[in-house]
Amino acid sequence: MTNLIHRQFNQKLPIAVKGDGPYIYDNFGKKYLDACGGAAVSCLGHNNKLIKKSISQQLESLPYAHSGFFTTDSAEELASMLSSLTPNPLNWVYLVSGGSEAVESGLKIARQYHYDRGYYKKSHIIARKQSYHGNTLGALAAGENIPRKKPYEPILLNSVHHISPCHYWRWGLKGESADDYGLRVANELEDKIIELGADNVSTFIAETIVGATMGAVPAVDNYFKRIRDICNKYDVVMILDEVMCGMGRTGQLYAFEYYSIVPDIVCVAKGLGAGYQPIGAMICNDMIYDSINNSSGYFQHSHTYSAHPVACAAGVSVLKEISKISTLNNIENLGIKLLNKLLEEFRDCPNIGNIRGRGLFIGLEIVSNNITKDSFDPKNKIHARIKKNAFDLGLMVYPMGGTIDGINGDHVLLAPPYIINDNHIDEIAKKLKLSITKAVLEIK
């Protein structure tokens, strides 16, 4: 009997009681290798002494001070660390309690940037199909994860428009090069801006690497460069959502660094608190900050727990851990090892269509036939079967259905902590193979 509302009302969940490195233990002593960091959160494992110590020190000195009255050392330190680690001119940090709040803050400050300059009509948001930006109403409207959105459609913003995602393996035309494909889908942004009228468009938002909705899908190399040019041309604020793929997960602090561009705003969360505290950040550039500073000088937004001192103290320690150059190099190397191991393990498996990603952010697309790329009948919910089979074996992975169009397609997302070793990589590959093989047999 429980009074807690779980996401699946009638599901009986095990009780998690202890963390040790990349493992979580339940109250029966069963251990689970966390190969997805929950939802790409626990990037430093479940028992980091430095982070725990900084949290208790902050609690001892001061648990909370409202950000309308005070600033705190931990918030100032976190902001200055983020500012110095984030490529210029992304220098201004707004601290919140999670990913949805970071995205809401980004969408709102972009709008306020236009408003404060007198461009009152600039209000429309352009985002991409098959994306997820959070569950609060603004962020939910911006994303297009169809199952998560469907019940709420009538109460969502109607100033959001969606263009194609960039997924060459699935949507590249026969004979079309990756570059041509990248340009074609990026140009949809320009077409949409022209259709709406540039005077009416505020923002473009995208996940640099699409996470939960499609399973770690990076854009082709030239895509974001073209997007950046289009945003510049039409005075549209470019927001990259790195709530999942940021904070070192790809082997760079930010995934956008691989594309040699800098957005106007980047949103981060998950890995910034690493599961030790709920913390997120919206980081904007000098252009946006200066413009508001020189007009209203006031960001018309805030939350009671914005810049929470304990969460900020955790964020400082997390950043110290992951910004060490050796950690970032190691993530890249571990990612290559994991990818190669998966490629080897699934070499002869007809049900893996594509293994992709960057660093320790990897997706496997599940198909019924890897030549035709056909998916399984969604009624079979093969993604849910894989999750259950893996969990039974003591492996946490993050599968999802609707990979192709919100209904069809399945994938498994992997986002293990940066502290895994070769043995953990073997364990992930072996148990995942067993889970997928069993799931396929169950529906045959």
Ligand X SMILES: Cc1ncc(COP(=O)(O)O)c(C=O)c1O
Residues that bind ligand X (CB under 6 A): 39, 98-100, 103, 132-134, 207, 211-212, 241, 243-244, 269
Residue 210 belongs to what H/E stretch?
Answer: strand 209-210
Q: How far is the CB of 132 from ligand X (least distance, A)?
A: 5
Q: How far is the CB of 98 from ligand X (least distance, A)?
A: 3
Q: How far is the CB of 234 from ligand X (least distance, A)?
A: 24
Q: Are strands 201-207 and 237-241 parallel, antiparallel or unpaired?
A: parallel
Q: How far is the CB of 251 from ligand X (least distance, A)?
A: 18
Sheet holding 31-34, edge to edge: 16-20, 23-26, 31-34, 395-396
Query: Which of these, 331, 336, 243, 226, lies nearest to 282 by C-alpha position?
Result: 243
CA distances from 320 to 82, 86, 93, 251 (A): 10, 14, 17, 15
Q: How far is the CB of 40 from ligand X (least distance, A)?
A: 7
> Residue 252: left (phi > 0), alpha (psi -120 to 50), or beta?
beta
Query: Which of these, 86, 115, 111, 75, lies nearest to 285 by C-alpha position?
Result: 86
- Nearest CB to ligand X, comparing residues 224 and 346: 224
What are the two backbone dihedrals, phi and then psi, of residue 194, each rounded to the nearest 5 degrees?
-65, -40
Rounded distance, CA 217 to CA 27, Å?
36
- Nearest CB to ligand X, comparing residues 39 and 198: 39
Give the SS3 label for residue 440: helix
- Nearest CB to ligand X, comparing residues 204 and 376: 204
- Nearest CB to ligand X, comparing residues 38 and 394: 38
- Nearest CB to ligand X, comparing residues 243 and 352: 243
- Nearest CB to ligand X, comparing residues 211 and 401: 211
Rounded distance, CA 384 to CA 393, Å?
14
Give the SS3 label for residue 290: helix
Query: Tokens 């999670």, residue?
Result: 98
Rounded distance, CA 246 to CA 64, Å?
27
- Nearest CB to ligand X, comparing residues 102 and 292: 102
Q: How far is the CB of 133 from ligand X (least distance, A)?
A: 5
- Nearest CB to ligand X, comparing residues 37 and 353: 37
Question: How many CA within 13 A on the CB side of residue 62?
Answer: 13
Q: Sign (positive/negative) of CA torsion 7, 10, 11, 13?
A: positive
- Nearest CB to ligand X, comparing residues 318 and 429: 318
Residue whose beta carbon is closest to ligand X: 99
Q: Sign (positive/negative) of CA torsion 157, 158, 159, 165?
A: positive
Q: How far is the CB of 101 from ligand X (least distance, A)?
A: 7
Q: How far is the CB of 46 from ligand X (least distance, A)?
A: 18
Q: How far is the CB of 99 from ligand X (least distance, A)?
A: 2
Are the beta carbons of 243 and 103 closer than 8 angstroms? yes
